[in-house]
Structure 1
Amino acid sequence: MDFEWDLGKAEGNRRKHGVDFADAVGVFEDPYALSLPDPFPAEERVATLGRDLLDRLIVVVWTWRGDGIRLISARRATPRERRRYAEDVDA
């Protein structure tokens, strides 16, 4: 799978949330990842909750761009999101 992102946006995301997009792509390999539509008026976006390449539980917002995936943002999961993930993994 091909991934892309805006370099300036990625640097801003890393400074703000401490999550590097290069690590965030790991959520797409997480067999327990949960994805939900993320309503945005300009384009169809998806929010995926899963483990990144550093095994952190994060939320990645992304969109399809051609045959690849364009990352928009990535942040650590909230306590509520952590519980949701744990419930689904244990189910």
Structure 2
Amino acid sequence: IDFADAQCIFKDKFFRISYDAKHSYGEKRWKVIGNVGKILVIHITYRDKKIRLISARKATAKERRIYYGDC
């Protein structure tokens, strides 16, 4: 997944965000699910008052259900 495309996730007015305690190693990380033509998942953190993109990938079936409100 191209990080430039992944940044567009915040243009999706229905994006879902949740705290990612499992992957917060010394800094708080957040999991974001959104639609950029396909459902993606990105992991972010806030550093120096900026959003930092850590990773981006296609959503799993469970994450797509969460996005569409089926969970």
TM above 0.5, one fold?
yes
Moved beyond 6 Å, runs of 4+: none
Greater relative CO, 1 or 2 (CA 8 Å, sep 6+):
1
Name stretches of at least 5 consecutive residues in structure 2 with no aligned partner.
Answer: none
Which residue among 17, 40, 45 is the counterpart of 1:35? 17
**TM-score, normalization by structure 1:** 0.69
CA offsets 1:39-90 (integer angstroms, 9 cap, x no match): 21311000000013xx1100000001222211000010001111111127xx
Distance 2:3 2:64 in 1: 20
Q: What does residue range 39-78 of structure 1 map to in structure 2 within 5 Å?
A: 39=21, 40-52=24-36, 55-78=37-60
Name stretches of at least 5 consecutive residues in structure 1 with no aligned partner.
Answer: 1-18
Two-structure CA RMSD over aligned residues (Å): 1.3
Q: Which has the higher strand share?
A: 2
